[in-house]
Amino acid sequence: MEAIDSFVKFLQSSISPIVLISGVGLILLSLSNKLGRTTDRSRIIVKELRDSSNKKSKKRKIVQLNILYKRSKILRLSIVSIAFSILTSSLIIPILLIMQLVSVDLKAIGIFLFLLSVMGIVSSAILLFIDVTLSLKALQIGVNEYLD
């Protein structure tokens, strides 16, 4: 009976990290899609640069390309941060298991891993905000001549 209680306790405490991993996984999917779009758009602009002879248009496209490249690097860092969050959240589960099986107090390690996971999410969110700002800047360069 004690084994069943211990297992149920382990399952209950493991649900939070698993839910965190699931939610963060959706953010990772979104970031991967954004990175794919910046990569695709960069390739289109490079092709347009090769085909264009208009110097004014080339200059504007080069500025857009530089912003897209910067965005890609920022998105890569954001993806690394969110993947780090997934890793640290995943490590909480074996810590919980060891605590249940061996009856060792590893709460400090679990809390530390959780804090690292949250830091990964926060840094990824900040980088995402920077990416959105740069995205708007690139859009403004592209449509500026058509706006009032």
Q: What is the pLDDT along the chain (148 residues), one digit of tens a residue?
A: 676 776 777 777 678 778 888 889 999 999 999 999 999 999 999 998 988 778 878 888 888 899 999 999 999 999 999 999 999 999 998 998 888 888 888 889 999 999 999 999 999 999 999 999 999 988 887 787 777 5
Task: Annotate 18-47 with b (16+ C-beta within 10 A) or e (fewer).
Answer: eebbeebeebbeebeebbeebeebbeebee
Q: Which residue has the tokens 């500025």?
A: 63
Any idea of the CA torsion for 12, 13, 16, 18, to the nearest 10 degrees? -80
Q: What angle do CA 71, 75, 79 make, to 5 degrees?
A: 175
Looking at residue 96, what is its pLDDT? 85
pLDDT at 143: 81
The pLDDT value recorded for residue 122 is 96
pLDDT confidence of residue 1: 65
Domain boundaries of the chain, sorted by first residue: 2-142
Q: Which H/E stretch holds residue 57?
A: helix 55-102
Residues 93, 14: contact at Cβ < 8 Å?
yes
Q: Which residue, among 104, 114, 85, has the nearest Cα to 16 in the 3D structure? A: 114
Closest CA to 72 of 46, 42, 115, 108: 42
